[in-house]
Amino acid sequence: MTLLFLILVSRIYYVQVVQGAEWYERAKERWSANEELVAKRGTITDRNGNMLAMDTYAYNVAVDPKLIHELDIADEVIEGLSDILGMSEEAMRTHVTAKKENGEYVSQREVRNGGWQIDKQVADQIEEFRNGLEKENKVSNVGIYMYDQLKRFYPRYETASQLVGYIDKDGNAMTGVEAFFNEQLSGKNGHITYEKDGKRVQLAEGEVDYQPAEDGQDVKLTIDGDIQNYVEEALKEIVKEYAPKSATAIAADPNTMEILAMANMPEYDPNVYWKNNAGSYNHAVKSLYEPGSTFKIVTLAAAVQEGLFNPNEMYKSGSISIPGVPRAIRDIKREGWGTISFLEGLKYSSNVAFVKLGYERLGEEKFKEYISQFGFGQKTGIQLGGELSGRINLRYPLEVANATFGQGVSVTPIQQVAAVAAVANGGKLLQPQIVKEFIDPVTKTTTKVEPKVIRQVISEETSRKVGEYLEQVVSDQEIGTGKNAYIEGYRVAGKTGTAQKVVGTGYATDKFVVSFIGYAPVENPKIVVYIVVDEPNDPLVGGGKVAAPAFKQIVLKSLRKMGVAPSYKTDEAAGKAEVSVAVPNVTEMSLSQAKSELKVKGMTSEQVGNGNTVIQQIPPADSIVHPTQRVYLITEQRDKLTIPDLTGVSLRDALEITSLIGIRLIPEGQGYVVSQTEETMNNVKVLKVVLAPPEEAAVQAATAEENAGAGTADETATEGGESQNAASEGESKPEDSGGSAESAVQQQ
């Protein structure tokens, strides 16, 4: 008995003392619970706060094959779930009949392919189906389970999808903003550890270790949702008519290089990225193109800066020889246009003119220096993954000569936009920006992203001159290759481009990249747009026919949306009239619907009254007005109305509005309202307005706004075309969209 007692005491001592710490830790694990607190991923919005990416709840489906077969309902489960989830019955059967190695049915099987991250609507159908089975079989569990979790949702679907990027089913950030700013968006998961009793109820005085989750930062992009829609609509029209391999467009503010829109076709829906993942490729930063004649803007700017461009100087067009090169470089029109001025050479997109300017006058070293200064051959620094730096490898005289008109160099669309923005904004090369600001939900702070100047490339005076020259490429409706980009009422600068595609060691004769790049208004640029179309189905069309009309559509809508007043510089001799638009019928619509309808048309509106439904509109439906004309939405009866701001309104509409309100109008001058004053005469309230002609009204409106705030023969011989033609003088080249037969497409 003594021996047994000693053994027992020794054992107790060993367990209690020697192994005490180990057993205590094991016990602590039994009575403690640990839960991970998942951080919410930050949202992505456009510059106006419209949601582009957000977290939402999704549901995952799992089944219990063992229980399902015990209840003998396998066929019902297979048929019901496959129908709801859109899966084949064979695929569902593999889940419902899943077994262990010993032949027994497993007790849980996740329905990964088809039943993972399903929407609530589908989850509700499964719950209804499950409840029906439980009621039919008089049991509380039929082996169908659903678990909720957060998933990434893109409420705008295809809109800006290549820019925003996507998150895969495993939560990995794959492309776009989602991937580049993954660290900021992700946040940090937290945890809570506490002690519990046998029923898993937290002990009141137990130890608690709590680390809260830190939600990810919200990212507000520079993208403008409306301009993004304008760009995507224009690209869809190009795809519909020309069925290209791809089409890409970028719109930016040249003064800050904030990207206002970036789109690619084909597109994809990031919510179901696996259905068309190839569409997630962002050509704007990841693809290289020979730019063709749009690159002539670089040569022109360099020549003007060095004092080598005299627009009135004459030269012989047609062909030019390079020392040591057996074949001449030719214009797209092989015989040329005779002896013409350099300004005419720009309008015609003459290769010979630019070889003279870039190769002969600037010289190899100076020309290559300007190419580098404009940012080519190096990454722009845009905050997107996969950006390429391009290829600028000019070793021989012929390569340098060809580069003066855009052949033999490869650039990205974003490089083109940054370079032309520098020409537009006074000569400053800026880093492209896609993020407006970061919002930290933890610290409640906002970090704004400021414009970043890389270098001054050309002077402000050179910028102004180049803008005026490029404006004539668009405004000259006789010989300008960019005439299809002309916008009545606005000064537009631009350049077309048509480039042969490189195939192997040479150039294809039937595959082209066509493009257009430009900005407006010339006197105070607000937007620069570049459109590049890869392999349109018609080898005879150029940038002037394919891309220029799309440019016009995008820029006109964008300028209206921005409220930019027209320049009113029109060529009366050519019979051009100011641009006009028909007012849509929004009467009897809800106020929000009416505003949305007008916004789509690029028109501004002002609510008159405090109602929610439009009972009258001024101007009336189908009125033909200038696009800057404000549409007044009357939402209340006459006796409840107040006097709205009539600035910019025609006298006729001002009279109609004041008549509706019941106040006498006293006008002074003619044209459009530039100011208004409310007075009392003979105990009667009157409204005095000062009117001015359109040109003066535009100037005064612009001044007030500032105070308130404080190819056609396109070009290149098809990209290399010309010189390529030079390489084989017997070949024929397609003309630019603005030339000969194809120039038949005129402005309305």
Measured CA to CA in angstroms, residue 464 lies from 302, 369, 419 at distances of 13, 21, 15
8-state DSSP, 379: -
User: What is the distance between the alpha carbons of residues 656 and 651, in angstroms, rounded to a whole number?
Assistant: 9
Structure tokens at 246: 């791809």
Contact 368, 680 (CB under 8 A): no
User: What is the distance between the alpha carbons of residues 615 and 517, in angstroms, rounded to a whole number?
Assistant: 43
User: What is the distance between the alpha carbons of residues 460 and 422, in angstroms, rounded to a whole number?
Assistant: 10
Q: Measuring CA to CA, which residue among 209, 205, 225, 167 is closest to residue 41?
A: 167
51 bridge partner residues:
45
Q: Measuring CA to CA, which residue among 350, 740, 261 is closest to residue 530?
A: 261
Contacts of residues 371-375 at CB distance under 8 Å and 24 or more positions apart, as own/partner, are: 371/298, 371/403, 371/409, 373/429, 373/455, 373/457, 374/298, 374/301, 374/419, 374/422, 374/429, 374/457, 375/415, 375/418, 375/419, 375/422, 375/429, 375/454
Q: Measuring CA to CA, which residue among 720, 727, 739 is closest to residue 289?
A: 720
Q: How far apart are the first and last CA of the chain?
A: 116
Residue 147: phi and psi, rounded to 5, are -125, 135
Catalytic residue among 280, 293, 410, 737: 293
Contact 501, 489 (CB under 8 A): no
Does residue 441 have a cis peptide bond before it, meaning omega lies within 30 degrees of 0?
no
Radius of gyration of the chain (CA): 34
User: What is the distance between the alpha carbons of residues 728 and 720, in angstroms, rounded to a whole number?
Assistant: 12
Q: Known catalytic residue: 293?
A: yes
Structure tokens at 540: 């005879």
Residue recorded with tokens 């993208």: 223
Contact 407, 716 (CB under 8 A): yes
CA 666 to chain centre: 47
Name residues whose C-beta falls within 8 Å of residue 649's C-beta, 6 or more positions apart in sequence: 629, 630, 657, 672, 673
- At position 539, the amino acid (one-letter code) is P
**Around Cβ 1, how many Cβ atoms within 10 Å?**
5
Q: How many helices (H) and strands (E) does the chain have?
A: 25, 29
User: What is the distance between the alpha carbons of residues 450 and 418, in angstroms, rounded to a whole number?
Assistant: 16
User: What is the distance between the alpha carbons of residues 645 and 654, in angstroms, rounded to a whole number?
Assistant: 10
Contacts of residues 312-318 at CB distance under 8 Å and 24 or more positions apart, as own/partner, are: 312/341, 312/342, 312/343, 313/341, 313/342, 314/339, 314/340, 314/341, 314/342, 315/339, 315/340, 315/341, 315/342, 315/345, 315/352, 315/353, 315/356, 316/352, 317/345, 317/348, 317/350, 317/352, 317/353, 318/352
Contact 488, 462 (CB under 8 A): no
Counting Cα atoms < 13 Å in the Cβ hemisphere of 430 gives: 24
Contact 380, 426 (CB under 8 A): no
Name residues whose C-beta falls within 8 Å of residue 618's C-beta, 6 or more positions apart in sequence: 631, 632, 634, 653, 656, 657, 660
Q: Where are the beta strands (DSSP E) in 154-213?
A: 190-195, 208-211
Q: Which residues are catalytic?
A: 293
